[in-house]
């Protein structure tokens, strides 16, 4: 039986692993479908404190893993397929194998929703991004495109006008689900262009290894055309990775874990960390902080006799 199992190996999971390992709890970290989480999909990270010369996202997250392993954290490749959190010890089925634990830290993140185009996938981190806060800075004076019609798209587009020479919002309908205030802020921004009733059909240029443009199609007329762009930001939503926990802990309507204060969930002994609960900040540093909080709570729970 494990003292603690940590589900997810992004910033939140790795930080929880460092703290619980240093507390002598010998955590098991289940890496999940996207080992390293969203940082493993980025290139340069300039806003994680402590790296004045920038650091590559995959290197940063790999360093965290090494740091946790140095203190005795164990990593298992695998997916949590099913969970029974109805009693302690908690039980998780990981790749067909049941594991038991006294405490559980869910740091399984939220995956950015992508368009799913083959060339879009190949250019992630090379002009295609799902995080304006992380990558906007690299597009100073460049042509930027944001896809989506929700609040995230409006927020990101507005933010990106600080950097880009122009920011084009591409939305598949001509009505927006974004709140009125966010939409109006964008409408008032002279750097923003609007391309509505349009979808992206392809992203160029995989041969060059970076984004040079996209092929668009008007969904009403069928007309297609190519538009030059340097940075393509997807803001079409995130999907929290909570499927195995449905019906086990309280989740909100979109599947995010509902916090019961600090890192606590609706089940005593089960803690949350990072984007699986946080739909607002979604930063490496906030996820790391949340991982630390969850680890401290798990340690205190065990100390207080929770088992
Ligand atoms: P969202 O509200 O679900 O909007 C997603 C947008 O992406 C929609 O416009 C949707 O189009 C579009 N979309 C989805 N799949 C697509 C696809 N395959 N191809 C093209 N377009 C696609 O997501 P969100 O903007 O990330 O917001 C999530 C939640 O966080 C919302 O409750 C939002 O209010 C909140 N939020 C608030 C703030 C703020 O207040 N500061 C900032 C960000 C987010 P359709 O409209 O056609 O479905």
Residue 79 pLDDT: 93
Residue 26 pLDDT: 98
Q: What is the SS3 assignment for 29?
A: strand
Contacts of 97 (CB under 8 A, 6+ apart): none
Pocket flag, ligand 1, residue 172 (CB < 6 Å): yes
Distance in angstroms (rounded) separating the CA atoms of residues 136 and 144? 9
- Would the pLDDT of 307 be above 80? no
- Would the pLDDT of 43 be above 80? no
pLDDT in tens, 17-34: 999 999 999 999 999 888
Gap from CA of 109 to ligand 1 centroid (Å): 18
CA-nearest residue for atom 4, ligand 1, is 150
Burial class (CB in 10 A: 0-12, 13-18, 19+), 187: exposed
Pocket flag, ligand 1, residue 230 (CB < 6 Å): no
Contact in structure between 66 and 44 (CB atoms under 8 Å): no
pLDDT in tens, 66-104: 999 999 999 999 999 999 999 999 999 999 999 999 999
Please tell me whether the peptide bond between 205 and the residue prior to it is cis, using omega within 30 degrees of 0: yes
Residue 304 pLDDT: 94
280 or 9: whose pLDDT is higher?
9
Gap from CA of 273 to ligand 1 centroid (Å): 23
pLDDT in tens, 148-193: 999 989 999 999 999 999 999 999 999 999 999 999 999 999 999 9
Residue 44 confidence class, pLDDT cut points 50, 70, 90: confident
Distance in angstroms (rounded) separating the CA atoms of residues 158 and 146? 10
Ligand 1, from 148, 239, 278: best to mutate by most atoms within 8 Å of Cβ? 148
Q: How many CB atoms lie within 10 A of CB 136?
A: 21
For 28, the token pair is 């098991």
Which domains are seen in the chain, by residue range? 2-111+238-303 (3.50.50.60), 114-234 (3.50.50.60)
Gap from CA of 180 to ligand 1 centroid (Å): 13
Pocket flag, ligand 1, residue 11 (CB < 6 Å): no
Q: Which of 135, 230, 275, 278 is catalytic?
A: 135
Element (H, E) at 59: helix 57-70
Pocket flag, ligand 1, residue 236 (CB < 6 Å): yes
Pocket flag, ligand 1, residue 281 (CB < 6 Å): no
Q: Which of 84, 95, 101, 131 is catalytic?
A: 131
- Would the pLDDT of 224 be above 80? yes
Question: Can you list the positions of beta strands (E) in 71-150?
Answer: 74-76, 80-84, 90-94, 97-106, 110-112, 128-129, 143-147
- Would the pLDDT of 306 be above 90? no
Distance in angstroms (rounded) separating the CA atoms of residues 262 and 11? 18
pLDDT in tens, 96-144: 999 999 999 999 999 889 999 999 999 999 999 998 988 999 999 999 9
């Amino acid at each position: 039986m494990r003292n603690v199992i940590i589900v997810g190996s992004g910033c939140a999971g790795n930080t929880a692993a460092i703290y619980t390992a240093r507390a002598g709890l010998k955590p098991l970290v289940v890496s999940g479908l996207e080992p390293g989480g969203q940082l493993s999909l980025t290139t340069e990270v300039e806003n994680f404190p402590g790296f004045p010369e920038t650091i590559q996202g995959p290197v940063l997250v790999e360093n965290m893993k090494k740091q946790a392993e140095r203190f005795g954290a164990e990593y298992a490749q695998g997916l949590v397929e099913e969970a029974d959190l109805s009693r302690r010890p908690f039980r998780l089925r990981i790749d067909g194998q049941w594991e038991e634990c006294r405490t559980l830290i869910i740091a399984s993140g939220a995956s950015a929703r992508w368009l799913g185009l083959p060339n879009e996938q190949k250019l992630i981190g090379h002009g295609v991004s799902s995080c304006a806060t992380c990558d906007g800075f690299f597009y100073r004076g460049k042509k930027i495109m944001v896809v989506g019609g929700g609040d995230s798209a409006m927020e990101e587009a507005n933010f990106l006008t600080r950097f880009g020479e122009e920011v084009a919002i591409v939305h598949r309908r001509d009505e927006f689900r974004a709140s009125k205030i966010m939409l109006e802020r964008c409408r008032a921004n002279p750097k923003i262009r609007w391309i509505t009733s349009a979808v992206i059909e392809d992203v160029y240029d995989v041969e060059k290894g970076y984004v040079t443009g996209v092929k668009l199609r008007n969904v009403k007329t069928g007309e297609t055309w190519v538009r030059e762009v340097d940075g393509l930001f997807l803001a079409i939503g995130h999907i929290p990775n909570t499927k195995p926990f449905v019906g086990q802990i309280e989740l909100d309507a979109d599947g995010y874990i509902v916090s019961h204060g600090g890192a606590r969930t609706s089940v005593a002994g089960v803690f949350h960390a990072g984007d699986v609960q946080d739909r607002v900040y979604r930063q490496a540093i906030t996820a790391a902080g949340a991982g630390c909080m969850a680890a401290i709570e798990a340690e205190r729970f065990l100390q207080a006799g929770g088992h």
